């Protein structure tokens, strides 16, 4: 990251703008909208600057720049188009430890201004670090079309109710779940229609009826190295999680897709010896599933980020433990590697994974599940595989691989 993104409060702060042409006019307009006290140095003023001067919104200090003009200034913007003058302004600002932006000259910038989508008080900024302004304009237009006009009104209402929500809901997790549910409800449609009174009544109704949220577990199978192979469902799960348990092989680019304020925990792989197999998968998977269960019982949305592909019996183990505790479970299949061959562009050949199928033992068939009865009967249970494994004395392969091969034969 070449630049640190931030939003500056310029209300009542002095900003020196060197130049008063067409480009400087656009800069001045944005600075005035932010409430800045603009001081201008320019040989002559464009018509817009003359209007602002007559309205008392800017100060015209001088025609030629002098280092003394930087006295008591918060920010500096140079937009003269004259390389010599811009260099002089930048050097003088650097000597006084002031942030300076030189228009169309990234080498003489200690800060840059991004393209902005304004839905005040919501603002979305996007930047290419000064490398491709045209590309940024392209993406700004696309994001502009995606962001509804009433987004700012939503934020204003949320701001008015924030203190009452904090008083009603004691934890950060409860408040976040409340706001996420609210913004996805008819409250959003009421605001879009301009019916603010009805929208606030809906907010109050949902706040009064807010109940303790039930936790859930989501198992996400993903390529450990390429975040581009994460499915849309996987990304949504990672962004909504309160806690993410991930395996050691998961790379940093994939982990960066997790919501920034979510708890994270790395799981060290530890497979149990064959003689410790208890009919519910490996001890490691059972331990992880038990932790998933305990965390979800606290009302958390827990994600287990796994490296695809994995043995189907692992998901079965997790399903059994969670089903006994009546903890909701979702399994999101990944895009596994279908073979070692590589394409000419260097990427590996991958095919979409089939929907997850979980073997459920007879004792748990009363638990609600999306698996069809026919498929449930066709899939071997872990206990059955264990007996078959011991009967065949297949010591040349691991139990996990044997389970996977048997399920593939069904």
Q: What is the CATH number for 135?
A: 3.30.160.110
Within a domain: 3? no
What lies within 8 Å, CB to CB, of 192 at 6+ separation is: 148, 150
| Range with the poorest average pLDDT among 160-169, 209-218, 231-240, 375-384 | 375-384
Mean pLDDT throughout 357-370? 44
Q: What is the CATH number for 105?
A: 3.40.50.720
Within a domain: 66? yes
Question: Is the domain of 285 the same as that of 370?
Answer: yes
Full-prediction pTM beyond 0.85? no
CA atoms within 13 A on the CB side of 357: 16
Residue 280, pLDDT > 60, answer: no
Question: Is the domain of 68 the same as that of 188?
Answer: no
pLDDT of residue 283: 82
Question: Is the domain of 58 the same as that of 31?
Answer: yes
Residues of the chain by 3-state class (helix, strand, coil), percent to 5:
45, 15, 40
Question: Is the domain of 131 the same as that of 98?
Answer: no
Residue 6, pLDDT > 50, answer: yes
pLDDT tens-digit series, residues 169-205: 988 888 988 998 899 888 998 999 999 999 999 999 9
Question: Is the domain of 279 the same as that of 377?
Answer: yes
Within a domain: 307? yes
pLDDT tens-digit series, residues 139-170: 999 999 889 999 999 999 999 999 999 999 98
Within a domain: 121? yes
Within a domain: 4? no
pLDDT of residue 135: 94
C-alpha torsion angle, residues 380, 383, 386, 388 (rounded to 10) = -50
Mean pLDDT throughout 107-131? 91
| Domain assignment of residue 76, given as a range | 14-113
Question: Is the domain of 128 the same as that of 108?
Answer: no
| Range with the poorest average pLDDT among 227-231, 273-277, 325-329 | 273-277
Question: Is the domain of 265 the same as that of 131?
Answer: no
- DSSP state string for 69-86: GGTT-SEEEE--S-HHHH
pLDDT of residue 213: 65
Distance CA 160, CA 165 (A): 10
Question: Is the domain of 103 the same as that of 128?
Answer: no
| Range with the poorest average pLDDT among 138-152, 168-182, 295-309, 377-391 | 377-391
Contact between 315 and 356 (Cβ < 8 Å): yes
pLDDT of residue 403: 54
Residues in the chain: 410
Q: What separation, in Å, do the N-terminal and C-terminal C-alpha atoms of the chain show?
A: 50
Domain count, the chain: 4
β-strand partners of 245: 265, 304
Q: What percent of the chain has pLDDT over 70?
A: 77
Distance CA 319, CA 381 (A): 12
Contact between 278 and 307 (Cβ < 8 Å): no
Distance CA 35, CA 7 (A): 13
Question: Is the domain of 187 the same as that of 226?
Answer: no
Question: Is the domain of 248 the same as that of 136?
Answer: no
Question: Is the domain of 49 the same as that of 188?
Answer: no
Which is higher by pLDDT, 185 or 377?
185
Question: Is the domain of 69 the same as that of 173?
Answer: no
Within a domain: 305? yes
Which is higher by pLDDT, 279 or 107?
107
Q: What is the CATH number for 313?
A: 3.40.1010.10
Within a domain: 260? yes
- Residue 321 has what DSSP assignment? H
Task: Classify residue 28 as exposed, middle or buried by CB count within 10 Å of its CB (0-12, 13-18, 19+).
Answer: buried
pLDDT of residue 1: 82
Within a domain: 179? yes
* 243-247 sheet: strands from edge to edge: 263-267, 243-247, 301-307, 216-222, 329-332
Which is higher by pLDDT, 410 or 249?
249
């Amino acid at each position: 990251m070449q630049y640190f993104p931030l939003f500056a409060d310029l209300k009542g702060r002095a900003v020196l703008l060197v130049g008063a042409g067409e480009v400087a006019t656009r800069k001045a307009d944005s600075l005035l909208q932010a409430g800045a006290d603009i001081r201008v140095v320019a040989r002559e003023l464009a018509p817009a600057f003359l209007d602002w001067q007559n309205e008392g919104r800017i100060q015209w200090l001088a025609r030629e720049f002098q280092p003394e003009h930087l006295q008591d200034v918060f920010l500096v913007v140079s937009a003269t188009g004259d390389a010599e003058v811009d260099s002089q302004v930048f050097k003088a600002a650097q000597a006084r430890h002031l942030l300076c932006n030189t228009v169309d000259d990234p080498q003489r910038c200690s800060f840059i201004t991004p393209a902005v989508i304004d839905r005040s008080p919501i603002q979305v900024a996007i930047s290419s670090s000064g490398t491709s302004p045209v590309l940024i304009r392209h993406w700004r237009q696309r994001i502009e079309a995606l962001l509804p006009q009433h987004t700012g009104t939503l934020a204003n209402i949320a701001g008015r109710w924030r203190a009452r929500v904090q008083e009603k809901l004691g934890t950060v997790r409860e408040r976040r779940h409340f706001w996420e549910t609210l913004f996805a409800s008819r409250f959003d449609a009421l605001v879009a229609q301009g019916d603010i009174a009805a929208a606030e009544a809906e907010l109050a109704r949902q706040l009064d009826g807010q109940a303790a949220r039930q936790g859930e577990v989501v198992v996400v199978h993903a390529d450990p190295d390429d975040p581009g192979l994460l499915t849309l469902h996987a990304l949504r799960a990672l962004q909504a999680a309160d806690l993410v348990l991930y395996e050691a092989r998961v790379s940093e680019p994939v982990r960066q897709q997790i919501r920034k304020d979510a708890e994270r925990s790395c799981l060290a792989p530890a497979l149990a010896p064959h003689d410790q197999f208890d009919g519910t998968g490996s001890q490691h998977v059972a331990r992880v599933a038990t932790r998933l269960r305990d965390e979800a019982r606290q009302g958390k949305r827990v994600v287990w980020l796994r490296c695809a592909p994995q043995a189907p019996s692992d998901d079965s183990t997790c399903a059994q433990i969670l089903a006994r505790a009546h903890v909701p479970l979702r399994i999101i299949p990944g895009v596994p590697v279908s073979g070692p061959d590589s394409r000419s562009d260097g990427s590996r050949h991958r095919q979409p994974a089939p929907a997850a199928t979980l073997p459920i033992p007879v004792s748990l068939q009363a638990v609600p599940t999306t698996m069809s009865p026919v498929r449930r009967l066709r899939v071997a249970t872990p206990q059955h595989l264990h007996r078959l494994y011991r009967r065949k004395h297949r010591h040349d392969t691991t139990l996990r691989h044997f389970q996977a091969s048997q399920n593939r034969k069904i």
